């Protein structure tokens, strides 16, 4: 098994424990994620609609952490385009995603000031003096080492304006082994419904070992509370994917 590559269902093969957001998956990334994460399009719609409560005037500051292909920024930008001019920042550690996102946004007629930075979020926050009205993180923190996650959430809290919001979606573990098995079973059936082959499902799971470390709902709430967030509402739950709205 050590030298055998795995079929991931994204047209590429990888070794076990070797998942990376490499340049060869950029053009297929959005389609793959929409198939892999149930209700992904609805998650974007929900985030976009919630933004109306926090991006309320010209020059509001919006930050997307782990912006990948810029698809959420595109949706939020288009949603607000005829009503106000926003300052929008996408942080994405992979430079090929930033290049793709920049080219994507250039093709649109948006009034906003939109910039993408290829940095890790800790470095970005330590250099930035901006405060944000809205910060989003969709399925990103689960790829950051747990030892750094608490520090990042505290920085997110500190970088928000008072009354600003953090929209946070993650994959979550079951509260115990029985529920974890049940959730994995249901998720695998969802993937089969999306025409993933069982070999692809297994390959993706194996490739993510050591790269993705989701917490339980309880663990996420403890991290958010410790970061300073007290007003937290669960706004989405489907199988083992969960969304939180946290207001400062």
- pLDDT, one tens digit per residue, over 157-176 is 999 999 999 999 999 999 99
What pLDDT, on a 0 to 100 scale, did the predictor assign at position 204?
A: 66
Please state, in angstroms and rounded to a whole number, the distance separating the CA atoms of residues 234 and 178: 23
Q: Are 228 and 154 in contact (CB under 8 A)?
A: yes
- For the ranges 54-63, 151-160, 193-202, which has the lowest average pLDDT? 193-202
Q: Residue 45's pLDDT is what?
A: 97
166: number of CA atoms within 13 Å, CB side? Answer: 27
The answer on pLDDT for 210 being more than 60 is no
Closest CA to 108 of 134, 82, 90, 136: 82
Q: Please state the pTM of the whole predicted model.
A: 0.87
Q: Backbone phi, then psi, for 14, in 5-degree steps?
A: -140, 165
The confidence score (pLDDT) of residue 20 equals 58
Could you tell me if residue 121 is left (phi over 0), alpha (psi between -120 and 50 degrees) or otherwise beta?
A: alpha
Q: For 28-62, how does the pLDDT look when each residue is reduced to its tens digit (9 = 90+)?
A: 888 888 888 889 999 999 999 999 999 999 999 99
pLDDT at 104 over 80: yes
């Amino acid at each position: 098994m050590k030298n055998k590559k795995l079929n991931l269902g994204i047209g590429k093969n990888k070794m076990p424990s070797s998942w990376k957001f490499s340049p060869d998956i950029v053009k297929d990334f959005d389609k793959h994620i929409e198939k892999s994460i149930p209700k992904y399009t609805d998650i974007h719609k929900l985030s976009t609609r919630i933004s109306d409560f926090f991006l309320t005037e010209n020059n509001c500051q919006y930050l997307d952490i782990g912006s990948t292909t810029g698809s959420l920024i595109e949706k939020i930008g288009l949603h607000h385009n005829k009503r106000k001019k926003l300052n929008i920042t996408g942080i994405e550690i992979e430079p090929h995603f930033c290049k793709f996102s920049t080219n994507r946004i250039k093709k649109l007629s948006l009034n906003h000031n939109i910039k993408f930075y290829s940095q890790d979020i800790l470095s970005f926050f330590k250099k930035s003096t901006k405060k944000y009205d809205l910060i989003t993180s969709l399925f990103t923190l689960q790829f950051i080492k747990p030892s750094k996650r608490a520090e990042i959430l505290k920085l997110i809290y500190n970088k928000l304006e008072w009354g600003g919001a953090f929209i946070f979606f993650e994959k979550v573990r079951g509260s115990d082994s029985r529920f974890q098995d049940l959730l994995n079973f249901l998720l695998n059936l969802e993937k089969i419904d999306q025409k993933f082959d069982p070999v692809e499902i297994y390959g993706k799971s194996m490739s993510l070992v050591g790269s993705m470390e989701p917490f339980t709902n309880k663990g996420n709430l403890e991290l958010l509370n410790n970061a300073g967030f007290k007003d937290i509402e669960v706004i989405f739950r489907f199988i083992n994917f969960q969304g939180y709205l946290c207001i400062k």
